[in-house]
Amino acid sequence: MTVKHLAIAPEGKKSLRLNWTNVAFFTTVHALALLAPWFFSWSALGLLLFLHWLFGSIGICLGYHRLLSHKSFQVPKWLEYAIATIGALAMQGGPIFWIGGHRQHHAHTEDVNLDPYSSQRGFWWSHMLWILYPRSEFFDYEIYQKYAPDLARQPFYRWLDRYFLLLQIPFGLLLYAIGGWSFVIYGVVLRAVLLWHSTWFVNSATHMWGYRTFNADDNARNLWWVSIVTYGEGWHNNHHTFPNVAKAGFQWWEVDVTWWSIKLLQTLGLAKKVVLPPSQRMNQG
């Protein structure tokens, strides 16, 4: 299997042919995750929770999503590359693939032909079937890189997009050296499965259930329990209404853990040009 965007081989435009390589890959990882009870230790559980936050909140939510996809704030280039590498370790695809697909989603939300994970095709399509039935317009590098030309121009991101899966080898070896198979099962396999589904719930659940604060043109909704497992990404109606804003939770009860990290970076002088919600911009203007 190749390492490029989870070995997904496009089958032709708008094809809905099942990709058995992807089925085998995701089935194997899910099956290995079932071994977790036999390798349990409290230290492994702690590692799982830490890496779920590090790769999920910092790598995916803060890095791939708010920093790279929407440019809702800026950090020094060395820090940007470090955060993008953390995102690549989440095993959710290379940065150009992830950002390109997400920008397609925002440009054509709910369109059954142009939105990679349109909820109009049903819960399971938007949750994971879009990966198992890959369409070339979303998985062909020559197409999706056009939605992320700012990243495709940079050799580092091109390399990371192609070889992101290889990062799991040294990472897995490091975990094995520290804590044996227990750390590998919990830190690589179980963590990947839980983080996959956490992120996928943003594509599926928050386009079907929850409340709408803003009368946006799509079906994105605010859903509290998705925000818990995604560190703030579940306030999806807020995000789709103001996609370039660095903060997803606008009300006091809309807890946004990822925003806390952005605020910390801002306090340390590492995050600049942080885009705030309109009401806060007016209050500070």
- Residue 217: the pLDDT is 81
Q: What is the mean pLDDT of residues 33-38?
A: 98
What is the residue-averaged pLDDT of the chain? 92
Q: What is the pLDDT of residues 65-77, one digit of tens each?
A: 999 999 999 999 9
Average pLDDT over residues 31-57: 98
Q: Is 208 exposed, middle or buried (0-12, 13-18, 19+ CB in 10 A)?
A: middle
Q: Phi, psi (5° rounding) for residue 272?
A: -120, 160
Q: Which two tokens stand for residue 203?
A: 């594509």
Question: Number of folded domains in the chain?
Answer: 1
Rounded to whole angstroms, the Cα distance separating 55 from 193 reads: 12
Examine residue 227 and state whether it is found in any structural domain, yes or no: yes
219-265 confidence digits (pLDDT tens): 999 999 999 999 999 999 999 999 999 999 999 999 999 999 999 99
Residue 243 falls inside a structural domain:
yes
Structure tokens at 81: 């590359």
Residue 35 confidence class, pLDDT cut points 50, 70, 90: very high
Domain-located, residue 232: yes
97, part of any domain: no
Decide if 246 is inside a domain: yes
As a whole number of angstroms, the distance between CA 249 and CA 255 comes to 6
Is 79 part of a structural domain of the chain? yes
181 closest CA partner among 169, 192, 173: 173
The answer to whether position 125 is within a domain reads no
Strand partners, 272: 74
In a domain, 228, yes or no: yes
For residue 192, give its domain range: 20-89+160-268
- Alpha-carbon distance 49 to 45, whole Å? 6
**Alpha carbons 119 and 104: distance in angstroms, whole number:** 14
